[in-house]
Amino acid sequence: MAEAIITRRGGGGGAEITFDDYTPQNTSLGYSPSSNILTRSTPTALSSGRYGLAATSVGDYALFGGGYTTSSVAVVDAYNLSLTRTTPTVLSVARYQLAATSIGDNALFGGGNVSGAVVDAYNTSLTRTTPTALSVARGRLAATSVGDYALFGGGEPTSSVVDAYNTSLTRSTPTVLSVARYQLAATSIGDNALFGGGIPLSSVVDAYNTSLTRTTPTVLSSARQFLAATSVGDYALFGGGYTTTVVAVVDAYIPKATGFYQHMPIGTKFNFGTEKTAIATENFIPTPATGWIKYKKGEI
């Protein structure tokens, strides 16, 4: 029947809502937090087996590009929302140990061993272009995105260079990493892109904000290389790696917010940069605070 029925019961004003195969209009579907929702499937395999490749997403596609078998590979495999695989135009240069990230309507594959300055861009239609190359050729670099920028940092030969591409794919070179290194890891959280670890053995973390200003937050708890990074919720995570032995450590970074919590009734309108409606009684106000809160009569 696809409907929601409100049924009033008794004289106390109570109500019961009964749902029957119901999805409200103009809303997106959510996912249950149940522990058994992650069902594994095995879609069509990559068009060729390889390692040392890179991956990112753009529009309705997940892309896997480059890699190595007995030689460098230029193949790109694309999977759509139905996990149907296609093979768009290959990379302009075959290479491995490259890095990938996305910005705006473009997925970028940059650097790599063999002709490691090349950057290939794929738009949401999987059309390939070749924007300005990296300022320095290198492999074993790391990539992530923040704000309006895709960043490629570090690399081998040992480099501290960071190349930034905006949504128009114009390249700039912000402040270099505080320590030159390769085989590092990168991820983003909030308004910060983080580059951590690497070779020579390093515990350094460099952070770039949406204006590409570099800061150096607290170092990793242990120096390591060959680590991995990703983000979840409010946390950027750097996990694993190698020193003289394998490492199991995970370091988590959370952005520091400055401000205060203001009590207000649910439904109250307030604006400190963006107009919002309170959905909880305690709401975070960033400082310095400039804006307004509209209380109803009798609420204060």
User: Measured in Å, how far apart are the chain's first and last C-alpha atoms?
Assistant: 45
Does the global pTM surpass 0.85?
Answer: no
Q: Is the dihedral of CA 54, 57, 58, 64 positive or negative?
A: positive
Structure-block tokens of residue 95: 């290479």
User: In which band, very low, low, confident or very high, does the pLDDT at 93 lie, cut at 50, 70 and 90?
Assistant: very high
C-alpha 269 chain-centroid distance: 31
Domain boundaries, the chain: 259-294
Q: How far apart are CA 281 and CA 286, in angstroms?
A: 16
Per-residue confidence (pLDDT) for residue 282, from 0 to 100? 84
Per-residue confidence (pLDDT) for residue 97, from 0 to 100? 97
Per-residue confidence (pLDDT) for residue 12, from 0 to 100? 52
- Smallest CA-to-CA distance from 69 within 55, 89, 49, 53 is with 49
Per-residue confidence (pLDDT) for residue 63, from 0 to 100? 98
Which strand ranges, in their side-by-side order, compose the sheet holding 128-129? 99-103, 106-110, 119-123, 128-129
106-152 pLDDT, tens digit per residue, is: 999 999 997 689 999 999 999 999 999 999 999 999 999 999 999 99
